[in-house]
Structure 1
Amino acid sequence: MEPPRPAGPHKPAQDNEKPLASASTSTPNYELRAILSGHKASIASITFSPDGAMLASAGSDKVIKLWDGITGEILDTLEGHTEGISDIAWASDGEYIASASDDKTIKIWSMEERSEVKTLIGHTNFVFCVNYNPNSNLLVSGGFDETVRIWDIARGKPLKVLPAHSDPVTAVSFNHDGTLVVSCAMDGLIRIWDAESGQCLKTLVDDDNPICSHVKFSPNSRFVLASTQDSTIRLWNYQTSKCVKTYTGHSNRTYCIPACFVTSKGKYIVSGSEDNKIYIWDLQTRQVLQVLDGHRDAVLAIATHPFRNIIASASMEKDLTIRLWFDE
């Protein structure tokens, strides 16, 4: 896990742009529906399959667990990594999962065979983050070797090795058409890359330069949502290099905690927190609309169902559960 670093106060948002459609008309009312147990160490990553039928989870116990995405019933456990897993990602067709591990490898797992089909070797230190492009023929990964790598999955080889950051890379993701990659790192920088050429198109940085834990494109790919270790989530218009919204109230100063968009009901932002809770904000007004309480340790992983009003959350050592929260 990441070392804590002091962080300064956040800057106020520039609230003069509309990131997505109009403000939410509904108020979230998520309730705990299921508690999933099975992991033996901290859970680092959870994610729903593209069709929402399955939930995958992984963490320090070196395994990937597959659960029913609605009932939470355990379906399978995938074993093969020799060290902890920091991140997992589904292919867009749901047929494969990629996993990033401290054993310096990325593994590709077949959902049909429920087994490992390929190992990608190239990172020289812990692999911390991984994501597929929309066509699922490329992977992007980042790690403690400070590089971002774009992989040709069929060949099992990196197409590009980008000397992207001056600190460990904490998150990487493609935009909705696969033309751009966004990365962030402990150096506090967010970078936008041309996926084909590997050229850095833009660097975003806040004045206080807090560690950037997680970054992802908005559903329309016009904005970037960034979580930083000054207990702030920022929404950036990367074309103008302006932070247009900030979301606060949660606690995040030590670990890499992702934030997600919820678009199935209203337009919300959701994040875990080091105070053991989950926070839901209105995307436009930035108000905290609901706080979900129940975990007994920091909530490091969060996932939203692709089309139902379901949030999955996962916690650290003192808890080790995944919780499914429903608003329907």
Structure 2
Amino acid sequence: MDVDAPPPSLPETPTGPQYKLRYSLSGHTMSISSLKFSPDGSKLASSGADKIIKLWDTYSGHVLRTLVGHTEGISDIAWSNDGEFLASASDDKTIRIWDMSVGTEVKTLLGHTNFVFCVCYNPTSNLLVSGGFDETVRVWDVARAKSLKVLPAHSDPVTSVSFNHDGTLIASCAMDGLIRIWDAESGQCLKTLVDDDNPICSHVRFSPNSKYVLASTQDSTIRLWNYQTSRCVKTYTGHTNRTYCIFACFKGKYVISGSEDNKVYIWDLQTRKVIQVLEGHRDVVLAVAAHPTKEMIASASMEKDLSIRLWSNES
């Protein structure tokens, strides 16, 4: 035997996540607009153009309850930090706060003069920020159901709002292509981020450490901005996004987004490479969400499909 012969090669271990379909859930009758895991990950909330919110058990896939009350379609939902309340933003121009222990509406926030498109709680959940087709960003005192601030934020409908991890900053983006960073307390605009081509910006969120913002634009690109220096530091491409406001999110060292080619894309945050594409939906994937602790993601699709898919990482 040749002692210098190389050892037999071992099969290559796949790098990156290996998400596989765990459940496919159905219950909505019109396009699903938003998905959010509860802070402890035990529940998944979904909203849609059918005016309802559904609450699912993450681990069994069973529907727990259906929340009814909005008179027009719902575009976005957000959990309070303790998981006790859910806020919903609707085309009926209201934001409604639901008590999740009993499934009833406890407050209605009135003030937007057009469709409310996006909503987000601050970390202590005493404030909400919302944005809408009236081109404003509004900050609400949740307990008093009162608008504290109306920011004349953009010159087009506001598509997304996000608080940073300590609640001191708000990010907003709009169809005018601008991303703005606001001081949450004073309401002052601290930064405006704009790309040369100025595509419609459809979703924005702070990175977990709040040093960056992740912005999805309708030129089929997701950009990671260092907002302190106003520089785009990474771009993620491969998916299709030219028409709809599609969510993107962080999951550990990955970036996840829906796509208009009916797929879910997963990128390596650092290398910007597409490392997995999830197939199975039969229509545009608008909503994605990442489980707070477990290796799970959820995705949901529009009219021709109407399924919510829960994927778990087998790697």
TM-score normalised over the length of structure 2: 0.95
Query: Deviations along 1:173-210, whole A, 9 cap, x unmatched?
Result: 10000000000000000000000000000000000000
Number of residue pairs aligned between Structure 1 and Structure 2: 301
How far apart in 2 are the matches of 1:26 and 1:245?
21
Partner Cα distance (2:79, 2:160) in 1:
15
Find 2:222's aligned residue among 224, 233, 237.
Answer: 233
Please state how far the C-alpha of 1:55 moved relative to its aligned partner: 0.1
Residue 272 of structure 1: how far off its partner (Å):
0.4
Residue 3 of structure 2 is matched in structure 1 by none
RMSD across aligned C-alpha pairs, in angstroms? Answer: 0.8
Does residue 171 of the first structure (1) align with residue 157 of the second (2)?
no
> How far is 1:113 from its partner?
1.7
Deviations, residues 63-89 of structure 1 (Å, cap 9, x unaligned): 000000122111100000000000000
Structure 2: unaligned runs, 5 residues or longer: 1-13
Corresponding residue for 1:286?
272
Match of 2:192 in 1: 203
Output one character per residue of 1:89-137: Cα deviation in whole Å (capped at 9) or x when no partner: 0000000000000000000000112100000000000000000000000
Tell me what 1:245 maps to. 234
Provide structure 1 residue ranges, at least 5 long, that are not aligned to the other structure: 1-24
Structure 1 residue 47, shift from structure 2 partner:
0.4
Distance 1:26 1:58 in 2: 34
Q: Match for residue 80 of structure 2?
A: 91
- 1:276 pairs with 2:262: yes
Moved over 3 A (4+): none
Partner of 1:256: 245
Q: 1:104 is matched with which residue?
A: 93
Which structure would you say has the larger RCO, counting Cα contacts within 8 Å and 6 or more residues apart?
Answer: 1
1:314 aligns with 2:300: yes
**Deviation per CA, 1:128-160, whole angstroms, max 9, x where unpaired?**
000000000000000000000000011111110
Give the TM-score taking structure 1 as reference length: 0.91
Residue matched to 1:188: 177
Q: Deviation at 1:26?
A: 4.8
* 1:128 partner SS: strand
Percent identity, please: 77
Alignment partner of 1:48 is 2:34: no
2:19 corresponds to which of 13, 30, 35: 30
Output the CA distance in 2 between the equivalents of 1:285 and 1:112: 42
Offset, 1:227: 0.2
Tell me the amino acid that sits aligned with residue 204 of structure 2: V
